[in-house]
Chains A and B, each alone.
Chain A
Amino acid sequence: MNTPKKMIRVANAQGFWGDSLLGPKRLVEEGPVDYLTFDYLSEITMSIMQKQRMRDPESGYARDFIKMLKMIMPQCRDKGIKLIANAAGVNAPACLAATKQALAEIGLSGVRIGIVEGDNILDRLDELNNAGEALVNMDTGAALDTVKSDIISANVYIGAESIVEALQQGADIVITGRASDPSLAVAPLAYEFGWSFEDYDKIAAATVLGHIIECGPQCTGGNYTDWRDVKDFATIGFPVVEAYEDGSFIVTKHDGTGGLINVESVTSQLLYELGDPSRYLSPDCVADFTTIQMEQDGPDRVRVHSIKGLPPTDSFKVSMSYANGYKILATLSISGPDAIEKAHIVSDMVFSRMKMLGADIPEEDRFLELFGSNVLYKGIVERADQPHEILMRLGAKGMDANKLNVMSSEIAPVLTSGPPGITGFAAGRSRASEVVGYWPALIGKDKIKTAVKVEEA
């Protein structure tokens, strides 16, 4: 039986697939931490991983995680740091095998690895439809039938309970598929403090904690409005949270790291990708962000407390992706005078030449963005009529990749056949790429059974 502790330190070492490897490396080297979480997955990464797996049955998970394990595991072992990562993506067996191999390569034995599976429902769509789960698009209300044959990936956002189970079975590393982002942080708190999953205020507090750290340094001064107040972006600290048994916690970072932690920088991240603040839905609870209290607790320390929660809903969110045709994007730099006028002439020129080559693109599938002519703040700040230079981003969408690829051969000729002052073709020809559509849905919790397995490597 685990003896409840007074305080544990949880740090998020990866905010997304492709985040800096300096995160985990420095977190284990530069200060105390008990649990490292790794948040690799987003809507788009699931479909990328599924496509990788279709090409290579041994891929489909976050390979970064394996590289990182070799770097930090010896120290984690010495210091007793546990790892929780949704690194399995869409291929848990391959991720487990690679993890074991990595540990063997660095000569570590006796490490217990927990695997949580059951989130991947790609092979179960017919069965679930027949069992009454319509999986309609929860944003648009559209029926699944309209895209069912084009579905690439389908994963359920699962909660923290299975991760706790793996920790109870002695796992040093827990690898999951599509566990929800905050659940990665809920699990160590529920496990260490022996919280019940029906203690909704505590689970909500841990969910808020997980939400604050899930994007790494975005709560320690990254992407912060008052950026001049942020010290040394290059060494910005990844977030470390001191979590207490009563559900309160302190957001901080290791001494000597860059960044800024104050009430405003933590609140900024709290608001990130937020919907209705009084009903933040997770698989573990419904957290009420309008109950959160925060105050400064010394330099680069913010105390968060008094959070209220409600029972979770009876459904899980499902994230599906589907093949939705192709897109192509080409860029050219256009200098003034009359850069905007010339860009429109070039756009018309390329599309009419494509038509002459048998690749007519209907108006609604054409795309033209003149970066530098007030694109990001469209309608908000005044547009300059005569920018000295613009980046023309010309593109198209459609179901036929070959037709779109005709565009790539008609971009470079613009330099010799079109108006003057066009340059910047150094990047070479672009090619049509697949468009991945996003299909969010809900599914009854009774339809999903997660499986926990702990193995020693």
Chain B
Amino acid sequence: MATKQIKLMDIALARSGDKGNGSNVGVIARSPEIYAYLDKELTAARVAAHFSEIALGGVTRYELPNLNAFNFILEESLGGGGTETLITDAQGKVHGLAILHMVIDIEESLITTIKKT
């Protein structure tokens, strides 16, 4: 079966925000089939490696299969906390787009499960 290298952006959407000294990153698969694939591929360990220079306290993953979505909690990802830090992205606003830069190998047939609404 033909596989293709794509960016997570091509098969998912994301939104992020602050949670104390960390941030959360919600990821929505663009189809139930892609959700099932990402359930195996988009592990907490893989997301932690992707954010290795940002999420200094590790990553936890939660699943929302009803919405084809995942919620990742990035610990210690705001340079010391939303109200205290001097970093530009003090609230983790761009962590959503950051995760979507991840490079993923996927079967081409799975990409065709995306229906444009």
Contacts and interface: CB of A to CB of B under 8 A. Distances in A.
Main SS of the interface on chain B? mixed
Contacts of B20: 139, 438, 440
B98 interface: yes
B87 interface: yes
Interface in A97-122: none
Contacts of B69: 267, 271
Interface string B61-75: 011111101010100
Contacts of A435: 83-84
Contacts of B88: 369, 371, 375-376, 393
Contacts of A44: 82-83
Interface stretch (A178-186, A377-385, A409-417): A377-385
B38 interface: no
A225 interface: yes
B58 interface: no
Contacts of A378: 53-54
Contacts of A264: 13, 28, 30, 117
Given A275-B73, A292-B66, A378-B54, A367 B86 contact: yes
B24 A274 contact: yes
Contact of A263 (B64, B96, B117): B117
Nearest to A266: B67
Contact of B71 (A226, A274, A440): A274
Contacts of A40: none
Best-surrounded residue of A139, A223, A377 (most CB of chain B within 10 A):
A377
B106 interface: no
A438 B18 CA distance: 13
A275 B9 CA distance: 22
Contacts of A301: none
B53 A379 contact: yes
Interface in B3-51: 9, 13-21, 24, 26-28, 30, 50-51
A292 B67 contact: yes
Interface string B82-111: 111011110001101110110000000000
A289 B84 CA distance: 31
A275 B53 contact: no
A269 interface: yes
A279 B50 CA distance: 27
Interface in A11-49: 43-44, 47
Given A139-B21, A264-B28, A271-B26, A290 B101 contact: no
B51 A271 contact: no
B83 A436 contact: yes
Interface stretch (A162-170, A321-329, A353-361): A321-329
B52 interface: yes
Contacts of B96: 225
B50 to A, nearest CB: 6
A321 B83 contact: yes
Given A264-B117, A275-B19, A380-B98, A393 B86 contact: yes
Contacts of A139: 20-21
A408 interface: no
A238 B115 CA distance: 27
B21 A271 contact: no
Interface in A325-359: 327, 329
Contact of A225 (B9, B63, B84): B9
Contacts of B71: 271, 274-275, 277
A139 B22 CA distance: 11
Given A375-B88, A436-B83, A380 B67 contact: no
Contacts of A377: 94, 98, 101
Nearest to A137: B20
Contacts of B53: 378-380
A272 B26 contact: yes
Nearest to A271: B26
Nearest to B26: A271
Given A290-B66, A292-B67, A324 B17 contact: no
A-B pairs, 8 with minimum CB distance: A271-B26, A379-B53, A225-B13, A273-B17, A268-B15, A395-B86, A367-B86, A378-B53
17 contacts: A44-B82, A223-B93, A225-B97, A262-B117, A268-B26, A268-B28, A271-B27, A271-B28, A274-B26, A277-B62, A277-B71, A292-B66, A376-B98, A380-B53, A393-B86, A437-B84, A440-B20
Interface of B: 9, 13-21, 24, 26-28, 30, 50-54, 62-67, 69, 71, 73, 81-84, 86-89, 93-94, 96-98, 100-101, 117
